[in-house]
Amino acid sequence: MTEFDKPLKPTATPIPGLVMWDLPVRGDRRGWFKENWQREKMSSAGLPDFGPVQNNVSFNRSKGTTRGIHAEPWDKLVSVAAGRVFGAWVDLREGATFGAVFTAELDPSTAVFVPRGVGNAFQTLEPDTVYSYLVNDHWSPDAQYTFLNLADETVNIAWPIPLGQAELSSKDMAHPRLNEVRRIPAKKTLVIGADGQLGRALQAEYANDASVEFADRSALDLTRADLDGARNWRDYETIVNAAAYTAVDAAMTSAGRTRAWAVNVAGVSRLAAIAAANDITMIHVSSDYVFDGAAAVPYTEEDSVSPLGVYGQTKAAGDAVAATVPKHYIVRTSWVIGDGKNFVRTMANLAERGVAPRVVDDQVGRLTFAKELARGIRHLAETRPPYGIYNLTGSGEPMSWADIARQVYALTGHDPARVTPVSTAEYFEGMEEPIAPRPRWSVLDLTRIESSGFQPKDHLTQLAEYLSVAHGSSASTASVAR
């Protein structure tokens, strides 16, 4: 007998993510009405906003019809439209709860949210039973399922109607036992731009994690027209976009401008649409170049953008697009130093060669080492603080590029006085190639990322560590010239 007028209420089960729901059913002697799924009400009550795209209906004429145990590659909300059903669910995902079992009876006043990878089975307790599946991927006969035998002795489900008396298909009778089941892996993380400084640091950070995939430009170009068909995107939980057009001066040319907008805006737009459509968390890496550098205090995540050049304009536009993804982290950083050609390596090499360089002293910021940036991105992906923008750089005393150059000279055992400070205007004077305007102040406030539980390391400490590895220096921060 369907119970009327229950309040909308979720109830957790021993299987993570599997949640029973009481549904308010309005009825009288004429029949009943219910809101089978109501996005706003149920999301507010805790149902994942799982993005359903298809509704399927199953009709079972006979009492005792038994189906399962099937684990589909999508999430679903299952509810009964007519009759009663005994449901059994078994966790077939990799992890500590593999093999966990939960059973319950469903009628029109109850529903169950079944996450991807949890096997489900149903046995009708009345004739002419109808139940529906609201799913977040389109049904296909080619979909890859995982199965478990209904009679598996390990899970030992207490079927109300013994299986010997129930109506089963020959396929369901032949499914494997639990010890033969292919465990369903967790959804994957995809790092795009894996061949850049940050991409290589992310490869090192996730070196022992088989659930993380890496794609360089040859494997996945954001400008390709068929990006939405390049992967089975439902297999991914997180996308880290470390790809960008970063040639700030070349972006001032006609060809560079076109390329910068294609990668940093149009490509990000395609990726954002994919993430939104497939309930993927998007982690997008941004830049201090979204600001004009006219501030005198560290930039916060709430400060309005005001980019000076084409590169900064495309990054600001890309940020706005990335922010449309319901689950997004925009990571703003500055002065990235990693594997490959960069300012620190250049200064160290000049020091070794006895060169006395001219270095600008009117641009101020903090170094961000790619290794530290990768660590921070992993922190966001795993701890899931509130979505939004997070500044992430090294911590410590802001410095000019000339100051940093002096640190490099001192740490590598050379005279820091050989570094000659000059203004940006003096440095670029007489150059014929287009020069992008640089923000003079690139210091980002780190309060929000610190409040999430991540403590960025001092950028000078990291500089000493970086040079020690790259150049065999034994210097420590205690010997750094101030």
The residues annotated with a catalytic role in the active site are: 70, 133
The per-type count for the chain, helices as H runs and strands as E runs, is 12, 25
Helix or strand or coil: residue 388?
strand
- 285, 390 in Cβ contact below 8 A? no
The closest alpha carbon to 213, from 245, 246, 244, 237, belongs to 237
Judge contact between 121 and 23, C-beta under 8 A: no
Structure tokens at 132: 């529906």
Question: For residues 367 and 374, what is the distance between their CA atoms, to the nearest angstrom?
Answer: 14
Short-list 427, 426, 425, 407, CA closest to 417: 407
Q: Identity (one letter) of the amino acid at 215?
A: A
Q: How far apart are the first and last CA of the chain?
A: 79
CB 330 within 8 A of CB 286: yes
**What is residue 179's DSSP assignment?**
G
CA 242, CA 263: separation in Å to the nearest integer? Answer: 11
Which token pair is 350? Answer: 């000049």
HEC per residue, 233-293: HHHEEEEEECCCCCCCCHHHCHHHHHHHHHHHHHHHHHHHHHHHHCCCEEEEEEEHHHCCC
Looking at residue 211, the DSSP 8-state letter turns out to be T
Q: Report the run of H or E that residue 118 belongs to, with start and end.
A: strand 118-124
